[in-house]
Amino acid sequence: MNEPTQRWWSHRSNIALAVFVAIGGYFLWTEHRAHVIEFLPWLLVLGCGAMHLFMHRGH
Segment 17-26, tens digit of pLDDT = 999 999 999 9
Is residue 3 pLDDT above 70, yes or no?
no
Please report, for residues 17, 25, 28, the alpha-carbon distance to residue 3 in angstroms, rounded to integers and kept in the order given. Answer: 25, 35, 39
- Taking only Cα atoms into account, the Rg of the chain, rounded to an integer number of angstroms, comes to 17
Mean pLDDT of 13-36: 91
pTM, two decimals, is 0.53
* Residue with the larger pLDDT of the pair 4 and 34: 34
